[in-house]
Amino acid sequence: MKKFTLALGLLISAFASSAADMSRGADNFYKSDKVTQQKVTFKNQYQMAVVGNLFIPRKMNQNTRHPAIVVGHPMGAVKEQSSNLYAQKLAEQGFVTLAIDLSFWGESEGKPGHLISPEIYTDDFSAAVDYLSTQPFVDPDSIGVLGICGSGSFVISAAKIDPRMKAIATVSMYDMGAAFRNGLNHSQTAEQRKAFIRSATEQRLAEFQGGETAYIPGTVNTLDASTPDIQREFFDFYRTERGGYTPQGQKEELTTKPMLSSIGKFMNFYPFNDIETISPRPMLFITGDQAHSKEFSEDAFKRAGQPKELYVVPGAGHVDLYDRTDVIPFDKLKDFFRKNLQ
C-alpha cells in the first residue's frame, strides 16, 4: 500500500534534478514594475476567508470599468507558485487579475490544512467573481477565469454553474477526478482504486480517533536513482529555488502534500460531465505536446461545446507551462481574453 500511495501521490502536483533547471525563461517569482499588487480577502459561500493577490495595471484608469481574470494555482500549490506569474503577465496587458489561494491552502482559511474539497475549491472561483464584481474599476460582465493544472478542472466545474464567467481557459490541466480514479493513461485497475479508497477511509477513522494526519507525498523531498521522470519534473519546480515556496506564517515547505483521508472526494469528482453546457461561452485549453497530462485537455476539448480551441505548445512538458516564460503562450491568452471579455 505504501508503494501504491506514493504512485498516486505523483498525480497531484509536485517534481527533475537536484539543481533547478532555470532554462527557457523559468521565472516563477517574476515581479512586474508595470502593475500594482494588493492582498485582498473575501468570503466564499461557506463563509471561509479566501485570500488573493489583486494585480492592477499602473496606467489603468480606475474611474472606468475594465475586464478581469481570476487565476487559480496548480493542485496542492499556492498562489505564489505559477498563478502570480500568469496574473502579472496578463495584468501587464491591461486586465485586472486576481490570483487566489484555494481554501485549505496557503493563506486562505480551512481546517485542517491541505484538505481536499473540490466543491469548496469550485466555490472559491465564484467567490472571486463575487469580489471582482463589486470593484468599481471592474466590468462585472467581463470576467474570465484561468485554471492551471488541477485548477483547470475546478474552473470548469465552476463555469458550468456560474454564467458570470464569460471566458474559460486552462493550462496544463489535470482532471483531478479522472486522475485519481483511473491514473495517468488509465493505468490504474479497479482493485487498485478500491484499495486506495480503503486506505483513505482507514486513515480517516484513525484521525477521528486522535491519530496524526497523514499526507500523500505529492512531491518527494529527495531524489534517488529510482525516482520516476514525472516525479523529477515536479521536484525541479516545487523542491528547488525555481518554484519552492513556504506559505507565509508556516515554518516548513508544505505545498503539494494533500491529506490522504480526504482523497476519496476526488474519486467522486466529475468536472467534465455536462461541460458542453458552458457553450456558447468560449473555452481555451492549452497543453504541451510533451505533457504527461495532455490527455485531460484533449478529453475536455472533445467533450466541450463550441466555441473551443485546443492549443498545443511544441516542445513543452506539463511543468514547463508553470513558469517558463519563453514557452508559455501569453500572447495566446491575451488574445483569447481580449476577444471574449469585451
Burial of 209 (0-12, 13-18, 19+ CB in 10 A): exposed
- Determine the pLDDT at residue 32: 98
For the chain, the structural domain boundaries read: 26-191+269-340
Question: Which pLDDT band holds residue 302 (cuts at 50, 70, 90)?
Answer: very high
- Determine the pLDDT at residue 18: 54
Chain segment 324-341, per-residue pLDDT in tens: 999 999 999 999 999 999
Between CA 36 and CA 271 the distance in angstroms is: 34
Between CA 257 and CA 76 the distance in angstroms is: 6
- Do residues 68 and 144 touch, judged by C-beta distance below 8 A? yes
128-158 in b/e form (b: 16+ CB < 10 A) is bbbbbeebeebbeebbbbbbbbbbbbbbbbb
Chain segment 197-218, per-residue pLDDT in tens: 999 999 999 999 999 999 987 7
pLDDT greater than 80 at residue 121: yes
Chain segment 52-64, per-residue pLDDT in tens: 999 999 999 999 9
- Determine the pLDDT at residue 256: 86
pLDDT greater than 60 at residue 2: no
pLDDT greater than 50 at residue 71: yes
Between CA 333 and CA 90 the distance in angstroms is: 8
- Determine the pLDDT at residue 26: 98
- Do residues 254 and 247 touch, judged by C-beta distance below 8 A? yes
Lowest mean pLDDT among 37-41, 77-81, 224-228: 224-228
Q: What is the mean pLDDT of residues 128-157?
A: 98
* Top-confidence residue, 162 or 15: 162
Report the side by side order of strands in the sheet with 35-43.
35-43, 49-57, 96-100, 66-72, 138-148, 165-171, 283-288, 308-313
Q: What is the mean pLDDT of residues 240-259?
A: 82
Question: Percentage of residues in the chain with pLDDT exceeding 90?
Answer: 85
pLDDT greater than 60 at residue 281: yes
Superfamily of domain 26-191+269-340: Alpha/Beta hydrolase fold, catalytic domain (3.40.50.1820)
- Determine the pLDDT at residue 253: 55
pLDDT greater than 80 at residue 252: no
pLDDT greater than 70 at residue 342: yes
